[in-house]
Structure 1
Amino acid sequence: MRPEILLASVAVDFGETEWFTESWERVVRSMTLGKAGDVGHGRSPGAALAWREAKPVPAGRSVQMRRTPVRMQEDGSTTILAGRLYRTDELATRFGLPSSTDPADIYARVHARYGDACDTIIVGDYAALQWFPQTRTLRLARSPTSSMPLHVWREGERLVVSSLPGPILASGVPSRINDDHLADTLLLNTLDGVSSWYAGMHRVPSGTCEIHDPSGIRRRRFWSIGEVPEVRFATDSEYVEALDDLFEEAVRETMHGASTPAILLSGGFDSQAVASYAVGNLGDGTPLRSFTSIPMAGHITPDRPHVFGDESDHVRALCAMYPRIEPHFVDAADYTYGERQARHLLVGGWPALNESNVHWVHAAMERASGLGCDVLLTGNYGNAGFSYDGLTGYPDWLRSGQWARLLREIGKSPDERPFWRKLLSMAVMPHVPLAWRRRIDRHRRWRASPFTDWCSMREHYARQSGALARADAIGADIDFYDVRSSAEWRRSVAESLASLTPEIDLGFRLLYGLPSRDPTAYPPLLAFCAGVPDEQYLRDGQSRWLARRLLKGRVPDMVWQEERAGAQSLDWPVRFSRDRERLLGDLTAMKDDPRLADVFDLDRMIATLAEWDGTDHPASRSGTRINSGIGRGMAMARFVSFVEGRNVG
């Protein structure tokens, strides 16, 4: 069996010139950045292909670039599979293959029998590239919730596809920012998995198959979290039993092959659940090393009754319950804002939107890698799945005529407002069109404009660039109103994660040589949770009812009974106060660049940071204005400068 593949690239000529010959060495060399394995490359009629092994080369040895014969299937096609397949033994048995069969060959065999329906049969976390020279067809596919991205550039008969943008740029494509994507992202309109940061490129969304041939492009979505089958059982307990079985399977499959696992562990439901199942899948004597963000010295916890920022007590309680968890607490006190951003961009070419919240991820991954960990578990998709709070049940029960259930749950809600106010706010208002809700709230002081609060973009640019019109056209809610259904909520969470995180995570992996895997993104588990009815998530006024029943006895009582939300990086006032003068200098320098000054409201950002009193009082909205607005704005401005070679900030 061949080693796992991390990165893949292919250049295709649908004509007769093989235009890529001159630039192909640069493409291959661009794939050697960061901590991963050797790069193999070869030719097939009409195409050049390259792949990089996932396992990092031994310390002290440089990455090798080896030209090798391209492996072909019986029909002459070539398949490269970046990522991993799950249930491979089951697939091999079903299709009469040895258990040692390479995952790419398994994928090719299933595709040969079932065609484009193969991705509904195969379970994995992958990106597949298949070149069929006889028909001059390139087929691309990404699994549901795939963490393996695919970027595409096509101009007439010339085509380049790669896991990251760098190899496409190395082929000679100009490095320019896609201004629409920049404006949409600054407005947090991030559900589009096709749009790219780079002008002229696009991405293949997760759960999608895309086919290129001389006639053009065809794209088909084969999976969406909003279109999964309903799950219905006769009793409440059956939902918990089925969830328990699927969670165990998800953790077992995502941990397969790991010998020294670690986990990003918080005090919340998602990572605590993953940790509790992971302990049961450890080898003899193997610890599960956990890494938890804690506030740095000098942090003063703001008065927010629904949020807690130091999750160490919840983590210690879990460690007491499972002694094989070895806790490590990370304050990343010596990391300044954006300190690792340039390195991250160099290997990944993609920005972290919340740059002010990634310092502890850098610190945790660096420490885990130094301790020899070979997998880092996460629980990022939990809120879209098993730990969903169920609060969209109110408008959905109103819409579907389940009025007795609606009135009972409104009455049992812990919300202290009068019954009629709760009914209007929680069940009726989510159905009111966005434009009407904005008119209603126009003069309410607590409903701040994005352009005086969390958005660093100039309002004039948001209108001129069409960002506001695009958001309105697709119903993107930049005011964060309550949504009408669980399907809508899950779509917003899952598709935003699928759009924002794969390239960022791949950049982290190349920086530290450590893969992250998310059992809560396991497609069968996520599909099951999305098919479960709202009344399993909200019952008798208790939110997250399904998750609480699953976790009772599995995690500490203080965790599964917790009503507050855990939050990382609540020590941001200490960090921004420390870095303020340097950040003000960077923002002032950006004003001299007309390109940046046209997009970003630099005067407002400078005034906000300069006049800030250094605290995090909820009434001042400093958290959204500085931590979100300035934190995101500076990261995006620096990224624009990185891509376009602008020497500012």
Structure 2
Amino acid sequence: MIYQAAVARWGETADCRLVGNYAAISAMPDGSLRLARSPWNAPPLYYANNCERAVASPLLRALFAAGVPRDLDYDYVIDQLAYDFRDGDDACWYRGVSKVPQGSVTILKRGSTQTDCWYRVDDICRSDPRGAAERALELVRDASEHALNIADSPALALSGGLDSSITASCLIEALPASQQLKTISFGQDSEWPGASSPDTMGDEIPLVREFAKMHPRISMHVADRAIGDFDHRTREMAAAMQIFAPGLANVGKFHGIYAKASQLGCDTLFSAELANQSFSADGRWAYAEYARAGKWGELLRLLANRPGDDRPILRKIAALSILPHLPAAARRGLRALVHPQRRDMVRLLTPLSVEALGNQRSRATLRASQSDWEDLTFPLNRQQAARHDYLAADSVGEDVNLAFEQLYGVRRRDVTAYRPLIEFCIGLPTESFACDGAERKLAKQMAKGRMPEEQRLNPRYGQHNADWHTRIGRRRGTLLTGIAAMRDHEFLSRTLDLDRIETLLRDWPEQPSLDIDADWPRMLAIPRAVLAAQFIGLIEGRNDL
């Protein structure tokens, strides 16, 4: 009703005036359908339109129930396995079905479709960096008040980092003085030996406990540590979504968060996922930007203090500051000289067969897309980083969030997905985020007095799946049985490199090496092969995959 009233009053400019998280369908007086999704954060919105009918819904199941053919595009599944997410493409998982891009309005008339991508990151105005931390905190508080208006019994997913902790402190300030804030955190598997990469932290619970001591109005809860396998309830998630979301392999622990929220009687689960695109941006585009601008003093201080990177300073300059400015072919050639095993990162990390990956790359070249791992490098400047973040925000993650809501009956709300906050931070100069030898400068300034200093100044990032080796390792027998079943499937046996996946499982190291070449294929390729098979089995009505 609110959105319909806004359209009636402001017409085509309605979405420019609205702030919120929405996917809207409006029946217009001329008989057309007006479909819209908010920028930065919005539920999915799918549609099918021809001379016979126009159907739209956030749920693909609704389209199929209305008679839209369930004609899976198997090549789209292969694209996902190649980490080619086709950013900005309105093509979809099923032939004849499209998706409204975020920050866009699509008009459906009989047999015709017109889309206006009205939101443009390049149009965001510059922000005054003076008092930036205070202004950003004001906006987080505003966002917290708006979020609390739709929640009767909320909980916050809380980590030991900066983002959710700053958000927690602002939510507490916005709550009535007599009300506590429930928080839910997850830990690693009880058999996890404690190993994680040097620049990461696997166990964040101790930091969460100290933060909770500083804020007595926090009611702290910990999710069941037994929940967290990469395929936990993934068949149910896929059935709710009707899509293949490779990222499900990374969110097993969030089932524990939602399950605890449901157990506590919460109606809304708050998060702070978009903080990394706003106040908690690390500013690592400064590596290239400062080099180009000749700000060598700032650059050297940043590189010297780069977390978990003990390479000589000249090598850091070459890899992080000079390499991004070179042509893509030169970057790939130089990387191959230094890291021969990573000559082809996509091949290293994908479960696809050589033939399937080659065919995928040929199709990608024709449509001008590529894998996220094809030429991974830091952005050259703030504007390029913002464009990348905006495209990446429009992902299957929203389908995953919607599936979680359906499975657990708990609504999800990202407090930091607040457009005024995001746009204010994008408008700030690079120095607000990376300066004086420190990354994430703005977030650290905002965190003063809101968390223990050990947490505020901690340079390490949380590694949610630090226990991946433990969880996959103890299930190798079951997974190998599943690989054997895939060999009897025409599409899977041709598309997946099952011999390689089986070798990765059989040659299982006793401990993770914390080395990209050895760990990442096992951590990424194995789960994605299994989840792809589950999804194909769902679509084809098979229960043996």
TM-score, normalising length from structure 1? Answer: 0.78
- What SS is found at the alignment partner of 2:317? helix
In the alignment, does 2:262 pair up with 1:350? no
For residues 422 and 450 of structure 1, the distance between their equivalents in structure 2, rounded to whole angstroms, comes to 20
Q: Deviations over 1:177-232 (max 9, x none)?
A: 22332122112222246232223211101111111123611111122445422213
Aligned partner (choices 525, 546, 554) of residue 421 of structure 2: 525
Residues 149-548 of structure 1: pairs in structure 2 closer than 5 A: 149-190=44-85, 191-192=87-88, 194-214=90-110, 216-233=112-129, 235=130, 238-302=131-195, 304-333=197-226, 336-399=229-292, 402-403=293-294, 405-411=295-301, 413-414=303-304, 415=306, 420-443=314-337, 444-450=339-345, 452-466=347-361, 469-470=364-365, 473-474=368-369, 477-479=372-374, 480-548=376-444
Q: Which amino acid aligns with 2:199?
A: H
Deviation at 1:542? 0.8
- What SS is found at the alignment partner of 1:128? strand
For residues 517 and 261 of structure 2, the distance between their equivalents in structure 1, rounded to whole angstroms, comes to 35
For residues 231 and 153 of structure 1, the distance between their equivalents in structure 2, rounded to whole angstroms, comes to 40
For residues 524 and 266 of structure 1, the distance between their equivalents in structure 2, rounded to whole angstroms, comes to 24
**Closer, same or farther in 2 for the Cα pair 1:266/1:467, shift >3 Å?**
farther
Deviation at 1:419? 5.0
**Closer, same or farther in 2 for the Cα pair 1:333/1:412, shift >3 Å?**
closer
Deviation at 1:494? 3.9
For residues 302 and 47 of structure 2, the distance between their equivalents in structure 1, rounded to whole angstroms, comes to 51
Deviation at 1:486? 2.8
Tell me if structure 2 keeps the 8 A contact 1:265–1:315.
yes
- What SS is found at the alignment partner of 1:589? helix
Q: Deviations over 1:494-517 (max 9, x none)?
A: 432321211111111011110111
- What SS is found at the alignment partner of 1:263? strand
- What SS is found at the alignment partner of 1:294? coil
The percent identity for this pair of structures is 29
Q: Deviations over 1:469-523 (max 9, x none)?
A: 3499246542422222233333334432321211111111011110111111111
Residues 128-143 of structure 1: pairs in structure 2 closer than 5 A: 128-132=24-28, 134-143=29-38
**Alignment: residue pair count:** 538
Tell me if structure 2 keeps the 8 A contact 1:177–1:199.
yes
Tell me if structure 2 keeps the 8 A contact 1:228–1:527.
yes
Tell me if structure 2 keeps the 8 A contact 1:193–1:499.
no
For residues 220 and 246 of structure 1, the distance between their equivalents in structure 2, rounded to whole angstroms, comes to 29
- What SS is found at the alignment partner of 1:548? helix
Tell me if structure 2 keeps the 8 A contact 1:462–1:468.
no
Q: Which amino acid aligns with 2:427?
A: G
Q: Deviations over 1:392-446 (max 9, x none)?
A: 12322444xx32x344332553256555444333322111122221122234325
Aligned partner (choices 584, 604, 611) of residue 500 of structure 2: 604
Deviation at 1:585? 0.7
Q: Which amino acid aligns with 1:255?
A: L
Tell me if structure 2 keeps the 8 A contact 1:374–1:514.
yes
Between Structure 1 and Structure 2, the one with more helix by share is: 2
For residues 475 and 350 of structure 1, the distance between their equivalents in structure 2, rounded to whole angstroms, comes to 20
Q: After alignment, is 208-217 or 561-570 more displaced?
A: 208-217
Q: Deviations over 1:83-133 (max 9, x none)?
A: xxxxxxxxxxxxxxxxxxxxx2x323332232211101011111111112x
Tell me if structure 2 keeps the 8 A contact 1:175–1:644.
no
Tell me if structure 1 keeps the 8 A contact 2:223–2:257.
yes
For residues 341 and 464 of structure 2, the distance between their equivalents in structure 1, rounded to whole angstroms, comes to 25
Bigger Rg, structure 1 or 2? 1
For residues 250 and 372 of structure 2, the distance between their equivalents in structure 1, rounded to whole angstroms, comes to 23
In the alignment, does 2:476 pair up with 1:580? yes
**Closer, same or farther in 2 for the Cα pair 1:398/1:574, shift >3 Å?**
closer
The one of the two structures with greater contact order (alpha-carbon pairs below 8 A, sep at least 6) is 2
- What SS is found at the alignment partner of 1:280? helix
Q: Which amino acid aligns with 2:37?
A: R
Tell me if structure 1 keeps the 8 A contact 2:55–2:63.
yes
Match of 2:7 in 1: 111
- What SS is found at the alignment partner of 2:185? strand
Q: Which amino acid aligns with 1:216?
A: S
**Closer, same or farther in 2 for the Cα pair 1:206/1:311, shift >3 Å?**
same
In the alignment, does 2:533 pair up with 1:637? yes
Tell me if structure 2 keeps the 8 A contact 1:354–1:631.
no
Deviation at 1:356? 3.4
